Chain A
Amino acid sequence: MARNIQSLERAAAMLRLLGGGERRLGLSDIASSLGLAKGTAHGILRTLQQEGFVEQDEASGRYQLGAELLRLGTTYLDVHELRARALVWTDDLARSSGESVHLGVLHQQGVLIVHHVFRPDDSRQVLEIGAMQPLHSTALGKVLSAYDPVAHSEALESRRTAFTDRTVHDPEAFEQVLDLTRARGWAADVEETWEGVASVAAPVHDRRRMPVGAVGVTGAVERLCPAGELRPELIAAVRDCARAVSRDLGAGRF
Chain B
Amino acid sequence: MTDAHTAGPFIAAIDQGTTSSRCIVFDRDGRIVSVDQKEHEQIFPKPGWVEHDAAEIWTNVQEVVAGAIQKAGITRDDIKAIGITNQRETTLLWDKNTGEPVHNAIVWQDTRTDALCRELGRNVGQDRFRRQTGLPLASYFAGPKARWLLDNVEGLRERAEAGDILFGTMDSWVIWNLTGGVDGGKHYTDVTNASRTLLMNLHTLEWDESIAESIGVPMAMLPEIRSSAEVYGEVSGGPLGELLGGIPVASALGDQQAALFGQTCFSEGEAKSTYGTGTFMLMNTGERIINSYSGLLTTVGYRIGDQKPVYALEGSIAVTGSLVQWMRDQMGLISTAAEIETLALTVEDNGGAYFVPAFSGLFAPYWRPDARGVITGLTRYVTKAHIARAVLEATAWQTRDVSDAMTKDSGVELTALKVDGGMTSNNLLMQTLADVLDAPVVRPMVAETTCLGAAYAAGLAVGFWSSTDDLRANWRRAAEWTPNMAAETRDREYKSWLKAVERTMGWIDEN
Contacts and interface: CB of A to CB of B under 8 A. Distances in A.
Contact of A117 (B336, B337, B422, B445): B445
A210 to B, nearest CB: 17
Contacts of B446: 91
A91 B2 contact: no
A170 interface: no
Contact of B1 (A81, A98, A117): A98
B467 interface: no
A120 B476 contact: yes
Contacts of A78: 336, 338-339, 342
A209 B341 CA distance: 25
Contacts of A96: 1-3, 31
Nearest to B430: A127
Nearest to B334: A78
Given A91-B446, A94-B445, A117-B478, A80 B1 contact: no
Contacts of A122: 477
A173 interface: no
Interface string A95-139: 111100000000000000001111010100101010000000000
A116 B1 CA distance: 20
Contacts of A237: 1, 3
Contacts of B29: 95
Nearest to B446: A91
A237 B1 CA distance: 9
Contacts, number: 75
B478 A94 contact: yes
A233 interface: yes
B193 to A, nearest CB: 28
A233 to B, nearest CB: 5
A91 B478 contact: yes
A81 B335 CA distance: 11
A88 B338 contact: no
A80 B447 contact: no
Contacts of B425: 80, 83-84, 87
B341 A80 contact: yes
- Interface size band for A: 20 to 34
A240 B364 CA distance: 44
Q: Which of A98, A129, A234 gathers most chain B CB within 10 Å?
A: A129
A250 to B, nearest CB: 13
Contacts of A17: none
Contacts of B104: none
Interface in B242-263: none
A237 B2 CA distance: 11
B338 A80 contact: yes
A231 interface: yes
Contacts of B445: 91, 94-95, 117, 120
B394 to A, nearest CB: 18
Interface in B456-511: 476-481
Interface in A16-45: none
B480 A79 contact: no
A127 B1 contact: no
A234 B31 CA distance: 18
Interface string B430-448: 0000000000000001110
B426 interface: yes
Nearest to A123: B477
A84 B478 CA distance: 14
Contacts of A125: 477, 480
Nearest to A87: B425
Interface string B1-34: 1110000000000000000000000000101100
A116 B338 contact: no
Nearest to A98: B2
Given A87-B447, A117-B445, A81 B3 contact: no
B267 interface: no
B3 A233 contact: yes
Nearest to B339: A78
Contacts of B424: 87
B426 A80 contact: yes
A92 interface: yes
Contacts of A115: 427
A84 B324 CA distance: 14
Contact of A84 (B31, B338, B477, B480): B338
A81 B480 contact: no
A105 to B, nearest CB: 12
B338 A81 contact: yes
Contacts of A87: 424-425, 447
B2 A80 contact: no
Interface in A51-100: 78-81, 83-84, 87-88, 91-92, 94-98
A84 B428 CA distance: 13
6 contacts: A78-B338, A78-B342, A84-B338, A87-B447, A94-B478, A234-B1
Interface of B: 1-3, 29, 31-32, 336-342, 422, 424-427, 445-447, 476-481
Pick the 9 closest A-B CB pairs, nearest first. Answer: A80-B338, A81-B338, A120-B476, A84-B425, A80-B341, A84-B338, A233-B1, A96-B3, A91-B445
